[in-house]
Structure 1
Amino acid sequence: MNVLLTGGAGTVGTAITDHLADREEYQLTSVDPEPHPDPNVESVEADVGDYDAIRPHFEDQDAVVHLAHAPIEGGGPSDRSIHAFDGHLANLEIHANAYEAAVDAGVDTFVYASSNHAVGMYEVEHAPDVYYPDYGLTVDHTVQPRPDSMYGVEKVYAEGLGRLAAEAHDMQVYALRICAVRDPEYDHPYGDAEAGVDRGEFERDSDAYATQVARMKGMWQSRRDHAQMVERCFTDDSVEFDVFYGVSDNDRRWFDVDHAREVLGYEPEDNGEQWDTPPE
């Protein structure tokens, strides 16, 4: 199976390539502004914002995993302001380019790296109580979008492009609202807390550290679980357009995984409650 990734050299992309690139059934190509680190991945250096530069690489691909995202200086997940930030506008073009190229090349399957921030106001409304067991909130694929930021708005926009591509151009589109996939050194439910310590933001015995752990025990999707979810999209033949939450089988999660289990056959292997301390 020929698979093209946009932005595959980043944190989420390497979670996929680390687990799939050495498999004989996949031939992976990644379009990035810099070389992809995995020698088993064909690396293309190009800007997804440049349609003419990327369009030829969509030919003869069976699936596209769209992860590319330009840096933004404002409008991030914790910023509630409404403003047309430069990076935000660049991302609207990047997403449109990826879908347009896939449609034009006749790609069958499109996996979009959406985000929990497309519905992030549920967390904002219920935090921090929602981070702890037995809170009772479930956010599933049927809820209305509630973006928490311009970043979240951008994700809703790209999900809308996906529905248009699916319904008007007969492409199977999977919008994965990714919760928390991290680099290998932080691939555990203590990851964000440990990263905060490493950056000097707080100490391990602080309330801030404990809050980060509690949140990640609900939000974490392990790298291997994320790669499995993406692969399940490749093997599915039932979806026109659908939304799934990228999260491991965490006891205290508030994002639904039953829909992904039933439709995709996703069987997450990890659970944040399996960890009592960070790794040595």
Structure 2
Amino acid sequence: MNVVITGGAGTVGTAVTDHLAEEHTITSVDVEAHPDPDVESVVADLRETDLRPHLEDKDALIHLAHVPQEHGNPGDTEITPFETHRENLALHADAIGAAAEAGVDSIVYASSNHAVGRYEDDHAPEIYYPEYGLTVDHTVAPRPDSMYGVEKVYGEGCCRLAAEAHDVRAYALRICAVRDREYDHPYGDAERGVDRGKFDRGGDAYDEQVARLKAMWQSRRDLAKQVECCLSDDTVEYDVFYGVSDNDRRWFDIDHAREVLGYEPADDGEEWDAPPE
């Protein structure tokens, strides 16, 4: 399959290409060159580049690109149309519109758990621990926790329009927590905090980061497996799925992804009781 991936050199993009580059012909369009020589790399800023020529004769678009922003990130509930927010709205509409115009078979869109992040905000930190009892599935109403979350809901809307008006299969993955290779384990956020001098190993802040990531972690190989399920599917018009491993304490549903896509994650954060050596 011939696939274009925007933002392919980033954390999520390399998780996809690490596991799928041998099975597919992948072109990465990103502001950074892709590190994998098996991936064709187009260095370009999508705010200034027409994606359409790169989508000619391609089967699918995996849309991950996002303009980094200083304001409106998770944890910031201010409602304001700052400049990078506007740029991201335009970026998503341009990319998804280009894919629909090019006639690709499918679009896999990197949405986010922050599209429904208010559920976590309402129940944290108790929600991070086993047997809390809340399940958030694909039928819930969007509850963004920030302007970043609002942006992701907007991208989901663009995908649905592409599916229903332009006959493109569209998959919105509400990705939970995919990390760089170094921190690809349920102690990753806690260990990264230690490495950056934010807190000490074994303290309350460390333990809470572990508890949260044991619920939210999606391993890099599970993320790639879920993307592969989307690329190989031919049944979905438009649908939403949660990107998370089979963690015992997760509150995001994966039964829907199992039933519709055949997604069977390999990893469970509860299987770890310490960071890797």
SS in 2 for 1:156: helix
SS in 2 for 1:40: coil
- Displacement, 1:162? 0.6
**How many angstroms apart in 1 are the aligned matches of 2:43 and 2:274?**
40
**How many angstroms apart in 1 are the aligned matches of 2:252 and 2:110?**
16
CA displacement 1:203-240 (0-9 Å, x = unmatched): 01210000000000000000000000000001111100
1:133 to 125, 130, 134: 130
Counterpart check, 1:219 vs 2:197: no
Is 1:51–1:97's contact at 8 Å kept on the other side of the alignment? no
- Displacement, 1:51? 4.6
- Displacement, 1:256? 0.3
Q: Which residue matches 2:30?
A: 32
**How many angstroms apart in 2 are the aligned matches of 1:216 and 1:32?**
28
User: Structure 2 matches for 1:1-280, cutoff 5 A?
Assistant: 1-23=1-23, 26-52=24-50, 54-280=51-277
**How many angstroms apart in 2 are the aligned matches of 1:93 and 1:61?**
22
Comparing 191-200 with 83-92, which one deviates more in the overlay? 83-92
**How many angstroms apart in 2 are the aligned matches of 1:217 and 1:164?**
34
**How many angstroms apart in 2 are the aligned matches of 1:178 and 1:34?**
22
**How many angstroms apart in 2 are the aligned matches of 1:102 and 1:33?**
19
**How many angstroms apart in 2 are the aligned matches of 1:201 and 1:47?**
32
Is 1:3–1:61's contact at 8 Å kept on the other side of the alignment? yes
**How many angstroms apart in 2 are the aligned matches of 1:78 and 1:86?**
18
**How many angstroms apart in 2 are the aligned matches of 1:4 and 1:109?**
11
- Displacement, 1:47? 1.3
- Displacement, 1:22? 2.1
Unaligned runs of 5+ in 1: none
- Displacement, 1:85? 1.5
SS in 1 for 2:151: helix
Is 1:72–1:85's contact at 8 Å kept on the other side of the alignment? no
Is 1:251–1:273's contact at 8 Å kept on the other side of the alignment? yes
CA displacement 1:228-266 (0-9 Å, x = unmatched): 000000111110000000000000000000000000000
The number of residue pairs the alignment matches comes to 277
The residue type equivalent to 1:20 in the other structure is L
TM-score by length of 1: 0.98
Query: How high is the sequence identity, in percent, across the aligned residues?
Result: 71
Unaligned runs of 5+ in 2: none
The residue type equivalent to 1:6 in the other structure is T
